[in-house]
Structure 1
């Protein structure tokens, strides 16, 4: 898989992705503010071996959920937050683990974190199973916009203290 900073064309494509219930909370609205965020340098497009856009990763503040910020859960040094999304028609087809592992490897190489952290809607058992399979552990739960979320962490063993 090839992971690079999002292009305008990729961002425009992602900005209209729609997910079926119960995953509609991850859908995009096509808003211009969202397009600006997608192009702010924290989002990366993922292309397969056929050079087709299959998803994205984002890192840092844009990967955080407002309720987790309110609960002051996004603390610590040498930690990078990761967010992600697969093209809607590719979800649930067993492609998630290789996609996610590529993003984890990218995060380790780019940021050298000690821990990688993510937030996921508590109802999203499919994603939680994938994250646990990849080595993430549940750390806390919190509410955001009327929904329960889980904060999960992965020990990336980076960020050597000098």
Structure 2
């Protein structure tokens, strides 16, 4: 699978906001509204397009990649590049996760050299946690929001 990064635009944002995941991943479903579009156009999101010109997923960095409830637990104090990501539900569960995550890690490490990576994931998402562990992420913190329990995971050994 070959992917490329594109700047986020309103069409990509609206498409992503309309994605619907099956249970239990419907936790990640969004509402289609202008506030959501503005968030995706904030400058911290990128669209990921596959080699067939399909919107395959997205990534975000910084505060947009953090779960706000984590701040009250202090899980984001250490200097890491926070990353968030989402895969088009049409491709979820079809064996693309490793290549997708490898692409994202490569992009992030090219643009944020020598800074370790951190991500937050809902604890019920065992499939994602398993993938992140295979990619070298380790759990460092746990916290809860009003809607779910989360862990933060970090990757310190970055590809050269």
Report if the CA contact (8 A) 1:80-1:113 is conserved. no
Alignment-derived partner of residue 123 in structure 2: 122
Tell me how far apart the structure 1 counterparts of residues 88 and 114 of structure 2 sit (CA, whole Å): 27
Structure 2 length as normaliser, TM-score? Answer: 0.93
Superimposed CA distance per residue, residues 34-69 of structure 1 (whole angstroms, 9 cap, x where no aligned partner): 110001110011111111110000000000002211
Report if the CA contact (8 A) 2:136-2:157 is conserved. no
Q: Which runs of 5+ in 1 are unaligned?
A: none
Tell me how far apart the structure 2 counterparts of residues 66 and 8 of structure 1 sit (CA, whole Å): 24
Tell me how far apart the structure 1 counterparts of residues 17 and 157 of structure 2 sit (CA, whole Å): 30
Q: Secondary structure at the match of 1:89?
A: coil
Structure 1 length as normaliser, TM-score? Answer: 0.92
Q: Secondary structure at the match of 2:90?
A: helix
**Greater displacement, 12-21 / 106-115:** 106-115
In the TM superposition, what are the counterparts of 1:1-162 in structure 2 within 5 Å? 1-77=3-79, 79-157=80-158
Cα deviation for residue 116 of structure 1 reads: 0.4
Aligned-residue CA RMSD (Å): 1.3
Tell me how far apart the structure 2 counterparts of residues 13 and 124 of structure 1 sit (CA, whole Å): 23
Greater than 3 Å deviation, 4+ residue runs: none
Cα deviation for residue 157 of structure 1 reads: 4.5
Tell me how far apart the structure 2 counterparts of residues 71 and 113 of structure 1 sit (CA, whole Å): 26
Cα deviation for residue 4 of structure 1 reads: 2.2
Q: Secondary structure at the match of 1:12?
A: helix
Give the paired residue count: 157
Tell me how far apart the structure 2 counterparts of residues 64 and 134 of structure 1 sit (CA, whole Å): 20
